[in-house]
Amino acid sequence: MLGVSDRALSFGVMAEAYERYRPGYPGRLFDLVADYAGRPIRTALEIGAGTGKATRLFAGRGVAVTATEPDAGMLAELRKHVPAGVKAVRAAFEDLRPGERHGLVYAAAALHWTDPAGRWPRMAALLEPGGVFASFGGPFQPADPAVRETVRVARAPFLDSDDVPSPHGTPPEQAMQWPGTELDRSAWFTDVRQAVIERRLTMSGPDYVGHLSTVSAYLVLPAADREQVLRRIRQVLPERVEIAADITVHLARRRCEP
């Protein structure tokens, strides 16, 4: 069975599709982070930047972003699309060493790929005292329960679920979700907050299948199985699919002293 690390490094072969089919992030996400920071965000370090979807949002608002990404294919695609001032570095979170500190460290749908061992002391070491940590992402699925069930049935012979493996086990009904649960317990962070940005998108059936082709659960299937399950899903989809793509945001502030 493939582990989390295998899935984390499965995206590079689909970097162009990832760029094409994954949506960017709305401006109100930056506004939420900036309002929480309460002071200008001048520098930011991004963990697991992918093709730079979130990088462009923050760099476009005048933040000097250092975007880190362990997969060479994803990083090459990122460099095609981000502003010239972005510093792009091939590195996993675990490779980063304390040095320059930033006003913001953030992860866009990437924190679950990081090693939990020493995660928060390592994160704190990358932040200025009082600096902000942000993590954001969320499910991307048909908004119509009937369409969602049809997709589940179509993929069932190949995949029980196409969700990312849970890193926490927090019950979905619990008010505070991961990583807020860990941040609340960390001696390094304070003022932990959780917010949801509601988002609905509409895309064609083929484009939704294109999005699924960039999801790790499908990427790690044998090629023949992947082609078959994606074809099965395409056959049962309507021509237009409304997508529920809410963004759950977790924010925390680095303590001046742990």
Q: For residue 105, what are the domain limits? A: 4-140+168-200+244-254
Per-residue pLDDT of the chain (258 residues; tens, 9 = 90+): 333 444 444 444 689 999 999 999 999 999 999 999 999 999 999 999 999 999 999 999 999 999 999 999 999 999 999 999 999 999 999 999 888 999 999 999 999 999 999 999 999 999 999 999 999 999 999 999 999 999 999 999 999 999 876 677 788 888 999 999 999 999 999 999 999 999 999 999 999 999 999 998 999 999 999 999 999 999 999 999 999 999 999 999 999 865
Let me know if residue 186 belongs to a domain.
yes
Cite the DSSP H helix spans in 13-162. 15-21, 27-37, 53-60, 72-81, 119-125, 145-155
Let me know if residue 155 belongs to a domain.
no
d(CA 15, CA 22): 10
Strand-by-strand arrangement of the 189-197 sheet: 87-90, 64-69, 43-47, 102-108, 127-137, 247-254, 189-197
Structure tokens at 65: 């972003």
Rounded to two decimals, the pTM is 0.92
- We report the CATH number of the domain holding residue 101 as 3.40.50.150
Q: At 197, is the secondary structure helix, strand, or coil? A: strand
Let me know if residue 71 belongs to a domain.
yes
